[in-house]
C-alpha cells in the first residue's frame, strides 16, 4: 500500500541469465496496467518510474517476455516518493 502522500513509484527488476523478464504494476482492484517495464532485451535490469495514487494497494506481476525462456531468479525493488505537482 502506498503512503498517504505517495504519488510516484519507482520499480527496478533485476535478474541473472539470458532471459528477458518484464513486470506490470496494477492497482489491486483492477487489471489495467498502472506501469510496466518497457525494455526488450536480455540485459538484466529494467527500471521505470510512474504516477500512483496515495493510500492505494498495488500488485506487481513478473514474467518472461514472449519468446523468452526461463525460469530465472529475480528481485524487485520498489520505492515510493512524493513529487510536488
Query: pLDDT band for position 54 (50/70/90)?
Result: very high
Collect all residues with Cβ–Cβ distance below 8 Å to 71 and sequence separation of at least 6. none
DSSP strand pairing (46-51 vs 33-36) = unpaired
- CB–CB of 15/21 below 8 Å? yes
**For the chain, what is the radius of gyration of the CA atoms?**
13
Distances (CA, A) of 34 to 6, 8, 15, 55, 65: 14, 11, 22, 15, 18
Would you say residue 82 has pLDDT above 70? yes
pLDDT at 40: 67
Q: Would you kindly state where each structural domain of the chain is located, as residue ranges?
A: 8-66
pLDDT at 85: 76
Amino acid at each position: 500500500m502506498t503512503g498517504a502522500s505517495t504519488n510516484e513509484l519507482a520499480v527496478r527488476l533485476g535478474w541473472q541469465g539470458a532471459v528477458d523478464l518484464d513486470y506490470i504494476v496494477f492497482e489491486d482492484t483492477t487489471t489495467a496496467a498502472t506501469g510496466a517495464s518497457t525494455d526488450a532485451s536480455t540485459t538484466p535490469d529494467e527500471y521505470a518510474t510512474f504516477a500512483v495514487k496515495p493510500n492505494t494497494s498495488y500488485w506487481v506481476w513478473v514474467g518472461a517476455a514472449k519468446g523468452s525462456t526461463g525460469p530465472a531468479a529475480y528481485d524487485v525493488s520498489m520505492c515510493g516518493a512524493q513529487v510536488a505537482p
